C-alpha cells in the first residue's frame, strides 16, 4: 500500500483539530487585556464541527464534539452539557445538508458556517434562558457569534486539507 | 475497477446514518449531563470532582500564559513611570494636599461615630477577614461569566464568599477546590445580588445577563434611581455584607436601569476574597441567641475649659436645645 492510498486516521482529522481548538480556547481564557480590551471568546470548536461535517460522515466527530463541549463547559464554568448540545445541534443539520454544500464556493460555505454558528448560539441562548430564568444578553451572544464567524478561513483550510486526503472518499 | 469509480458509493447512506445516530446518542448523553448538573447547581458541595480536576488543570496553564503578558505590561508601565515621573510627582502632591483635608475630616467623623455608637450601645459589625488571590482564568461569553482565582479551600475560601477588586464587588465564589476557586461574576446570567441605591435606599436585585451592565430588577418606588447613583450591596438575606460598592446606575438601551460595575474600571487582576460567613448557612442557629458581647468602652471625654463646661445632657450652657 502506498502512502497516498493509506486511510486517513481519526487521530489526524478529528483528534488533531479537536486538541488545537481546545488549546486555542484555553489560551484565550487567560485574563489578559490588549490595548485595554479583553481577548475575544469565540467558540473555536465550531471550526472543526463545520469541517468534520463537510469532510465526511463518521461517528467519531460526534463523540469528539461531546467530549470537546464538556471540556469547554469545564473551562468556561458553564453547566455541563451546554456547549456539547449547542455544537451537536449545529453539526446534525450540517450532516444532513452536506450533499448540498459539497462543491460550493468558499463564500457560500462561509454563509452556511455563519448559519451553523447562529444555530449553536441560539441553542445555547435558549438553554441558558431556561436554566437561569432570564434571557441572556443578545448583544453579548452576537459578539461571540461574530468572533466565531471570523474563524471560517481556518475551517476552509481544514476542509481543503482533509477532504481528499483519503482516496476511498474521493 | 479503480478508486475513482467510487466503490463505496453504496455504503454512503449507512455511513451518514451511522454518523447521525452517533450524533443523536451524543446529544442524549449531553442532555442527561445537563439535567444532572442543573439539579446539582443549587446543592451545597455539588462542585464535583470533574470540575475540581478541570479547574486544577486550567488555572496553572492560563496563569502561565498570562505571565509574560503581565511581565511585558509591567515593563511598559515602568518605562512610562520613568519618563512621566515629574508630572506624576506634581499630580501626587496635589492629591496629597487634598487628602490631608479629607483625613482630618475623616478622623473627626470616626470619633463622632464612635461616640454615637457608644451612646446607643450599637453592636457594630466585626471586621471580616480576607485572603488575596490572583485571577488566572476568565470566561467572558454570553452564557458563562466566571473567573478562576488561585486561592482555594486551603486558605479558608468557601462557597458563597464575596470577591472584591480594588474598585468594588466582582462576584462570589461558587466552586472551591484545594488551591483554586471559581468566582461567578456579577454579569453572569445566573447571578442575582441584593443591592440598594445609596441615595434613596431603594432595594433591587442586580441581575446578570452576560452583558457588560447587569440589570436592576424589582426596583420599586418613584424616582428610586437616577443616572449616576451609587449602588451598594444591601446585605439583605445575609449572603453579602452590606455597603460594598457595586457600581453606578446607567440607563440601558432598552430603557431599563442598569449598573456600570465599579470593578470594570480596571482589569480584575488581584482580588480579595472576604471570608464572610452567611448566617443563613449556620448549622446551629442557637448561636444567634447567645448574648452579644459588651459594647465598646465609651471614649473618655475631653478636658474642657471651665468657660465651656457642658450640662449633664451634653449641651453647652446657653445653647438652645
**How far away is chain B from the Cα of A106, in angstroms, using its nearest Cα?**
23
Give the pLDDT of residue B41: 52
Interface probe, candidates B11, B19, B54, chain A, greatest A C-beta count within 10 A: B19
Residue A107 has pLDDT above 90, yes or no: yes
Which residues of A are less than 8 Å from B175 in CB distance? 77
Residue A10 binned pLDDT confidence (cut-offs 50, 70, 90): confident
Stretch among A17-26, A92-101, B232-241, B289-298 having the lowest mean pLDDT: B289-298
Contact B146, A77 (CB under 8 A): yes
ipTM of the complex: 0.86
**pLDDT score recorded for residue B58:** 81
* pTM for this prediction: 0.77
B187-217 burial by CB neighbour count: b if 16+ within 10 A, else e?
A: bbbbbbbbbbbeeeebbbbbbbbbbebbbbe
Residue with cell 431599563: B256
Cross-chain CB nearest to B31 (options A60, A81, A95): A81
A146, pLDDT greater than 50: yes
Cβ–Cβ gap B19/A169 under 8 Å: no
A-facing residues of B in 86-145 (CB < 8 A) are: 135-144
Whole-number pLDDT of residue B249: 94
CB atoms within 10 A of CB A22: 18
Cβ distance of B142 and A144 shorter than 8 Å: yes
Check CB contact of B18 with chain A, cutoff 8 Å. yes
pLDDT at A4 over 80: no
Residues of chain B contacting A18 with CB distance shorter than 8 Å: none
CA distance B170 to B158: 16
Using a CB-CB cut-off of 8 Å, the residues of chain A touching B140 are 38-39, 41
**Is A152's pLDDT higher than 80?**
yes
Predicted local confidence at residue A35, as pLDDT: 73
A116-131 average pLDDT score: 94
**CB contact at 8 A, B271 and B135:** yes
Span A118-145, average pLDDT: 92
Average the pLDDT over A67-80 and give the result: 90
Q: Are B142 and A85 in contact (CB < 8 Å)?
A: no
The residue ranges of chain B whose pLDDT is under 70 are 1-13, 38-48, 124-126, 278-321
The owner of cell 482555594 is B152
Closest approach of B171 to chain A, Cα-based (Å): 14
Nearest chain B alpha carbon to A70: B30
The whole-number pLDDT of residue B298 equals: 58
Q: How many Cβ pairs within 8 Å bridge chains A and B?
A: 196
Q: How much is the average pLDDT of A73-80?
A: 88
Amino acid at each position: 500500500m502506498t502512502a497516498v492510498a493509506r486511510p486517513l486516521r481519526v487521530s489526524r482529522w478529528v483528534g488533531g483539530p479537536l486538541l488545537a481548538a481546545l488549546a486555542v480556547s484555553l489560551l484565550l481564557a487567560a485574563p489578559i487585556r490588549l490595548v485595554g480590551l479583553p481577548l475575544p471568546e469565540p467558540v473555536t470548536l465550531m471550526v472543526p464541527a463545520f469541517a468534520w461535517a463537510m469532510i465526511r460522515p463518521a461517528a467519531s466527530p460526534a463523540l469528539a464534539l461531546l467530549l470537546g463541549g464538556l471540556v469547554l463547559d469545564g473551562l468556561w464554568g458553564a453547566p455541563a452539557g451546554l456547549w456539547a448540545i449547542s455544537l451537536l445541534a449545529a453539526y446534525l443539520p450540517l450532516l444532513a445538508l452536506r450533499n448540498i454544500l459539497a462543491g460550493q464556493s468558499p463564500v457560500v460555505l462561509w454563509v452556511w458556517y455563519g448559519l451553523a454558528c447562529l444555530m449553536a448560539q441560539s441553542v445555547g441562548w435558549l438553554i441558558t434562558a431556561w436554566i437561569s430564568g432570564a434571557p441572556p444578553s443578545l448583544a453579548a451572544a452576537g459578539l461571540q457569534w461574530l468572533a466565531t464567524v471570523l474563524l471560517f478561513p481556518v475551517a476552509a483550510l481544514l476542509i481543503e486539507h482533509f477532504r481528499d486526503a483519503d482516496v476511498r472518499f474521493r | 475497477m479503480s478508486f475513482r469509480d467510487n466503490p463505496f458509493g453504496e455504503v454512503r447512506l449507512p455511513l451518514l446514518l451511522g454518523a447521525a445516530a452517533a450524533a443523536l446518542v451524543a446529544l442524549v448523553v449531553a442532555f442527561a449531563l445537563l439535567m444532572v448538573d442543573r439539579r446539582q447547581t443549587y446543592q451545597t458541595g455539588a462542585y464535583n470532582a470533574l470540575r475540581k480536576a478541570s479547574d486544577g488543570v486550567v488555572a496553572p496553564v492560563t496563569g502561565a500564559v498570562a505571565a509574560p503578558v503581565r511581565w511585558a505590561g509591567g515593563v511598559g508601565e515602568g518605562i512610562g513611570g520613568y519618563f512621566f515621573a515629574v508630572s506624576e510627582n506634581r499630580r501626587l502632591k496635589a492629591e496629597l494636599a487634598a487628602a490631608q483635608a479629607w483625613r482630618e475630616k475623616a478622623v473627626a467623623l470616626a470619633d463622632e461615630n464612635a461616640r454615637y455608637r457608644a451612646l446607643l450601645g450599637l453592636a457594630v459589625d466585626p471586621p471580616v477577614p480576607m485572603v488575596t488571590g490572583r485571577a488566572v482564568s476568565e470566561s467572558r461569553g454570553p452564557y458563562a461569566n466566571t473567573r478562576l482565582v488561585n486561592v482555594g479551600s486551603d486558605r479558608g475560601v468557601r462557597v458563597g464568599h464575596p470577591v472584591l477588586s480594588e474598585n468594588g464587588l466582582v462576584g462570589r465564589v461558587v466552586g472551591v477546590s484545594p488551591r483554586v476557586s471559581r468566582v461567578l461574576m456579577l454579569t453572569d446570567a445566573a447571578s442575582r445580588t441584593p443591592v440598594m441605591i445609596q441615595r434613596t435606599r431603594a432595594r433591587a436585585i442586580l441581575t446578570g445577563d452576560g452583558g457588560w451592565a447587569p440589570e436592576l430588577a424589582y426596583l420599586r418606588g418613584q424616582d428610586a434611581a437616577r443616572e449616576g447613583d451609587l449602588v451598594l450591596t444591601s446585605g439583605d438575606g445575609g449572603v453579602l455584607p452590606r455597603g460594598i460598592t457595586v457600581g453606578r446606575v446607567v440607563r440601558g438601551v432598552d430603557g431599563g436601569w442598569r449598573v456600570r460595575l465599579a470593578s470594570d474600571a480596571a482589569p480584575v487582576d488581584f482580588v480579595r476574597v472576604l471570608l464572610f460567613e452567611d448566617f443563613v448557612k449556620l448549622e446551629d442557629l442557637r448561636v444567634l441567641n447567645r448574648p452579644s458581647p459588651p459594647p465598646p468602652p465609651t471614649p473618655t471625654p475631653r478636658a474642657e475649659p471651665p468657660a465651656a463646661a457642658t450640662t449633664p445632657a451634653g449641651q453647652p450652657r446657653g445653647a438652645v436645645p
